[in-house]
Amino acid sequence: MNLFEYAAAKADQGVARAAGGAGPETISRAVAAVLEVARELPSFTSDDVRARYGDFGMAEPRAWGAVMRQAAGTGAIVATDHYRKTGRTSSHNRPMRVWRARLTVDI
């Protein structure tokens, strides 16, 4: 395992622990909020979801990684190749992934 694979595995473990601490019901409610925001906004970050619906009592922000992954797993949203700064000093204004609703075409 190279350094990048090791770092990715450690990050995945942290997200999984944070999601476990939040609990499956909380994660499910947050996923539902993500999908609602995806219907309303052309693009969004997890901060946009939190601004509209709150943090669902999740003490560990890494749980939002699990929320966004689970929402993406529904097929309703996709990650873009864009990032936005959070604007939060607690996150050191770090860049956050931008998401959008998956485009569908009825034939």
Q: Cβ distance 31 to 74 under 8 Å?
A: yes
106 assigned to some structural domain: no
* Number of domains, the chain: 1
Closest CA to 34 of 62, 61, 66: 66
Note down the domain range covering 58.
3-101
Beta strands of the chain (E only): which ranges?
77-85, 95-101
List the Cα angle 63/57/100 in 5-degree steps.
50
107 assigned to some structural domain: no
Integer Cα distance of 27 and 24 in angstroms: 5
pTM of the model: 0.81
Q: Is the pLDDT of residue 10 over 80?
A: no
12 against 79, higher pLDDT: 79
29 assigned to some structural domain: yes
- 61-102 tens-digit pLDDT: 888 988 999 999 999 999 999 999 988 777 788 899 999 999
